[in-house]
Structure 1
Amino acid sequence: MRIAFLMAPEGVEQVELTEPWKAVQDAGHTPRLVSTTAGRIQAFNHLDKGDTFQVDQTVDEAAAEEYDALVLPGGVANPDALRLDDDAVRLVKTFCETGKLVAAICHAPWTLIEADVVRDRRLTSWPSLETDLRNAGAHWADEEVIVDEGTYTLVTSRKPDDLKAFNDAVVVQLGG
Structure 2
Amino acid sequence: MGHGSASAIRFGSSKNIAFLLAPEGVEQIELTEPWQAVADAGDTPCLVSTKPGRIQAFDHLDKADTFAVDQVVSDASAEIYGCLVLPGGVANPDALRVDSGAVAFVREFFDAGKPVAAICHAPWTLVEADVLRGRTLTSWPSVRTDIRNAGGTWVDEQVMVCHDGPNTLITSRKPDDLKAFCAAFTAEFAKASARAAAGT
**Normalised by the size of structure 1, how large is the TM-score?**
0.99
Query: Which residue number corresponds to residue 51 of structure 1?
Result: 65
Query: Which residue number corresponds to residue 96 of structure 1?
Result: 110
Instruction: Please state how far the C-alpha of 1:23 moved relative to its aligned partner.
Output: 0.3
Query: Which residue number corresponds to residue 19 of structure 1?
Result: 33
Instruction: Please state how far the C-alpha of 1:6 moved relative to its aligned partner.
Output: 0.1
Query: Which residue number corresponds to residue 162 of structure 1?
Result: 177
Aligned length: 176
Aligned mates of 2:92, 2:144 — CA distance in 1? 18
Aligned mates of 2:83, 2:39 — CA distance in 1? 13
> Structure 2 matches for 1:1-176, cutoff 5 A?
1-149=15-163, 150-175=165-190
Instruction: Please state how far the C-alpha of 1:73 moved relative to its aligned partner.
Output: 0.3
**Normalised by the size of structure 2, how large is the TM-score?**
0.87
Provide structure 1 residue ranges, at least 5 long, that are not aligned to the other structure. Answer: none
- Amino acid across the alignment from 1:28: G
Structure having the higher Rg = 2
Provide structure 2 residue ranges, at least 5 long, that are not aligned to the other structure. Answer: 1-14, 192-200
SS at match of 1:142: coil
SS at match of 1:175: helix
CA deviations 1:91-136 (Å, max 9, x no partner) are 0001111000100000000000000000110000000011110011
SS at match of 1:174: helix
RMSD (Å) for aligned C-alpha atoms: 0.7
Instruction: Please state how far the C-alpha of 1:175 moved relative to its aligned partner.
Output: 1.6
Aligned mates of 2:125, 2:92 — CA distance in 1? 9
- Amino acid across the alignment from 2:138: T
CA deviations 1:47-73 (Å, max 9, x no partner) are 000000000000000000000000000
- Amino acid across the alignment from 1:169: A
Instruction: Please state how far the C-alpha of 1:174 moved relative to its aligned partner.
Output: 1.5
**Relative to total residues, which structure has the larger helix share, 1 or 2?**
2
Aligned mates of 2:117, 2:185 — CA distance in 1? 7
Aligned mates of 2:89, 2:68 — CA distance in 1? 18
CA deviations 1:125-153 (Å, max 9, x no partner) are 00001111001110000000000013100
Aligned mates of 1:139, 1:34 — CA distance in 2? 28
Detail structure 1 runs of 4+ shifted over 2 Å in the superposition.
none
- Amino acid across the alignment from 1:93: R
